[in-house]
């Protein structure tokens, strides 16, 4: 099972390195890792996807919570949440392939963000299933380059909300 964990941390040098070291030092893998500042530049939000059983999740969240620079750790896996990932893919597309690449982008509500003589760059954002389907559809094309952001997640309310 994959666990999605978010952590609110102080935005200081070395914090990310300590978190990654803590998780990997215990033999756990981080499948995706995304970090960025929050609306308050003194804090960052980290989203990581960690594969493993419930014991792995418990160990990771407990150990993260003990770090001084970590303010709050949340496992959003079993809570209502929204998860998204962004992909940038440069696709070989001469004049004869452009229509097909643009149709692919349209099917996935993606945007063409770069145009060159022999390629188009697509930006696609979606949930896990949409990303998987998009990557599968890309097999029909020559992919020149691809970059993935990794998952980001936000919980939707708390478990006590009546409108969950």
What is the value of pTM for the model shown?
0.82
C-alpha 69, offset from chain centre: 22
- Cα 116 to Cα 130: distance, rounded to the nearest angstrom: 26
State the maximum Cα–Cα separation within the chain, in Å, rounded to a whole number: 57
| Strand blocks (E) in the chain | 2-10, 32-37, 43-51, 70-75, 81-92, 111-116, 119-126, 143-148, 152-155
Fold category of 2-75 in CATH: Alpha-Beta Plaits (3.30.70)
Please state which CATH number belongs to domain 82-150. Answer: 3.30.70.1150
Query: Is residue 81 a contact partner of residue 155, using CB atoms and an 8 Å limit?
Result: yes
Query: Would 2-75 and 82-150 be classified into the same CATH topology?
Result: yes
Boundaries of every domain in the chain: 2-75, 82-150
Q: What is the pLDDT of residue 163?
A: 39
Instruction: Collect the ranges in the chain with pLDDT lower than 70.
Output: 158-164
- Kindly report, residue by residue over 81-92, the tens digit of the pLDDT: 999 999 999 999
Q: What is the pLDDT of residue 160?
A: 47
- Kindly report, residue by residue over 38-64, the tens digit of the pLDDT: 999 999 999 999 998 888 788 888 989
């Amino acid at each position: 099972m994959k666990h999605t964990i978010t952590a609110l941390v102080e935005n200081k040098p070395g914090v990310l390195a300590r978190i990654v070291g803590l998780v990997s030092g215990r033999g756990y893998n981080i499948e995706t890792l995304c970090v960025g500042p929050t609306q308050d530049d003194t804090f960052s939000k980290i989203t990581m996807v960690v594969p493993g059983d419930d014991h792995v999740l418990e160990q990771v969240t407990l150990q993260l919570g003990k770090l001084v620079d970590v303010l709050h750790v949340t496992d959003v896996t079993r809570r209502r949440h929204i998860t998204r990932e962004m992909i940038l893919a440069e696709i070989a597309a001469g004049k004869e392939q452009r229509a097909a690449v643009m149709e692919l982008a349209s099917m996935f509500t993606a945007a063409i963000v770069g145009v060159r003589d022999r390629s188009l760059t697509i930006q696609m954002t979606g949930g896990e299933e949409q990303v998987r389907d998009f990557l599968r559809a890309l097999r029909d094309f020559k992919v020149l380059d691809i970059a993935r952001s990794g998952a980001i997640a936000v919980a939707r309310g708390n478990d006590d909300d009546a409108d969950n």
